[in-house]
Every structure is written in C-alpha cells, then in structure tokens.
C-alpha cells in the first residue's frame, strides 16, 4: 500500500472517531445536561427558593443550536441575589420569572447554586441511543477502517 493510501485510511479513521465523539457529546448535552432526574426534597415536592430575573440567552452552537445557553439572576425571598448560568437546557428566553430551587448539600443545607424547579426531564432513550451509537462509531469505525485491507487491482495480462 502506498503512503498516500495509508494517509487516506488514517484520515478516514480520524474522521469517524471525531464524528462519533461529537455524536456522543451532542446526545449527552441535548438529552441530559440541565435536565432534572428527580426532586431533591424527601417528600417528592419541589421547593421554590427563588425566581429567575433578567434572563438573557443565546443559542448554544456547540450542539448546533439545539439548546440555549442562558444567564440570569436568581432572587430569593429574603432579597438575596445569586448569579445563574446554564450551559444547556436549564432556562430559555421565555423563562423570565421561572421558579428556581437551590441545590442542597449532603447535609440538606441550601447552597447558593440553583436549578429550575420544573425543568425538562432527562431523555434517557435519546441519551443512551445517541451516546452509545456515538461511542460505538468512535471506537469501532476507526478499527474497521484501519484493519480493512485494500484489495489490489488485478494486473493486466
């Protein structure tokens, strides 16, 4: 095999790896990050510890604009103001005044970080299919491309 053929196979393998890794990243961010799996309080109800104000958002182009990247100020009932920033899914431009819940420490005390009280839930099927598909493509694709032998053209004669 020529050096050009080897380089071509390596580039195809690298391309498959990068596409697979991005698919896994995309599915993780779009279907999981910023989404709620369960309420924090023991009785199953969600406590409201503040409201989002001054919500400013822009499309998150790392995931092709499928999610919003937002910043806001969370105002607590006692007048405290806390900065809130989300990479994906937690808030959208329409969430001015959205109810926010403070994260809890292991001992149950309220922290100064927040998440949306009634946010979207985790899409497990999308995350698993996209994540494992992407990881599979990133691992198996380059192995198949690099292991495949190029068939030589028959010689004339």
CA 80 → CA 41, 49, 60, distances in Å?
22, 10, 29
CB count within 10 Å of CB 26 equals: 18
The overall pTM is greater than 0.85: no
pLDDT band at 18 (very low <50, low <70, confident <90, very high): very high
Which residues does 107 contact at the CB level (< 8 Å), separation at least 6? none
Listing DSSP states for 8-30 in one string gives HHHHHHHHHHHHHHHHHHHHHHH
What digits encode the pLDDT tens for the residues 23-73?
888 888 777 765 665 544 555 566 778 888 898 989 888 888 888 888 888
């Amino acid at each position: 095999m020529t050096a050009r053929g080897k380089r071509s196979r390596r580039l195809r393998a690298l391309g498959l790896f990068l596409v697979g890794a991005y698919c896994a990243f995309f599915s993780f961010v779009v279907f999981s990050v910023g989404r709620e799996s369960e309420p924090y309080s023991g009785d199953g109800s969600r406590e409201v510890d503040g409201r989002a104000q001054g919500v400013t958002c822009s499309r998150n182009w790392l995931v092709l604009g499928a999610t919003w990247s937002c910043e806001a100020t969370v105002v607590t009932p006692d007048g405290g103001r806390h900065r809130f920033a989300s990479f994906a899914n937690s808030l959208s431009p329409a969430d001015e005044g959205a109810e926010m819940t403070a994260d809890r420490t292991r001992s149950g005390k309220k922290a100064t970080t927040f998440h949306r009280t009634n946010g979207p839930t985790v899409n497990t099927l999308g995350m698993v299919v996209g994540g494992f598909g992407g990881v599979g493509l990133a691992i198996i694709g380059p192995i198949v491309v690099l292991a495949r032998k190029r068939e030589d053209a028959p010689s004339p004669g």
